[in-house]
């Protein structure tokens, strides 16, 4: 039985199929992917990197915060989203809101 599970796991890795893993579009922490799965289209994407001083006790290291701004549309509706990655905290966040016209 143990060999069967090992073989199934190895096969899944080789063919790229996740075992008991929900699709990324269902993940509530990924609103951009959820919007795209719901038919929204990315019409613009801009990226910026901010270099900040590190947080103690790593204040001598450079902390890089990468911010990606998205503008999505679906019909007449517009959403703006922001994806941020903080290198020192190793944290990725996404937020979306309806765009003001």
Which backbone phi and psi does 86 adopt, to 5 degrees?
Answer: -105, 115
pLDDT exceeds cutoff 70 at 95: yes
Domain ranges (residues) in the chain: 23-98
Looking only at Cα atoms, what is the longest distance across the chain?
60
Nearest residue to 101 (alpha-carbon basis) of 68, 84, 71, 78: 78
Q: Is the pTM of this model over 0.85?
A: no
Q: For residue 98, what are the contacts with CB-CB under 8 A and spacing of at least 6?
A: 77, 78, 79, 80
pLDDT digits (tens, 9 = 90+) for 57-93: 999 999 999 999 999 999 999 999 999 999 999 999 9
pLDDT digits (tens, 9 = 90+) for 19-55: 444 444 456 678 999 999 999 999 999 999 999 999 9
User: pLDDT tier at 100 (50, 70, 90 boundaries)?
Assistant: confident
Alpha-carbon gap, residue 39 to 46, rounded angstroms: 21
């Amino acid at each position: 039985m143990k060999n069967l599970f090992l073989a199934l796991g190895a096969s899944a890795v080789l063919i790229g199929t996740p075992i008991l893993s929900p699709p990324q579009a269902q993940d509530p922490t990924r609103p951009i992917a959820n919007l795209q799965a719901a038919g929204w289209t990315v019409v613009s994407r801009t990226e910026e990197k901010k270099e900040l001083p590190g947080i103690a006790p790593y204040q001598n290291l450079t902390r890089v915060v990468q911010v990606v701004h998205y503008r999505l549309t679906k019909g007449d509706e517009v959403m703006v989203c922001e994806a941020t990655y903080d290198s020192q905290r190793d944290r990725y966040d996404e937020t979306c809101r309806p765009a003001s016209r």
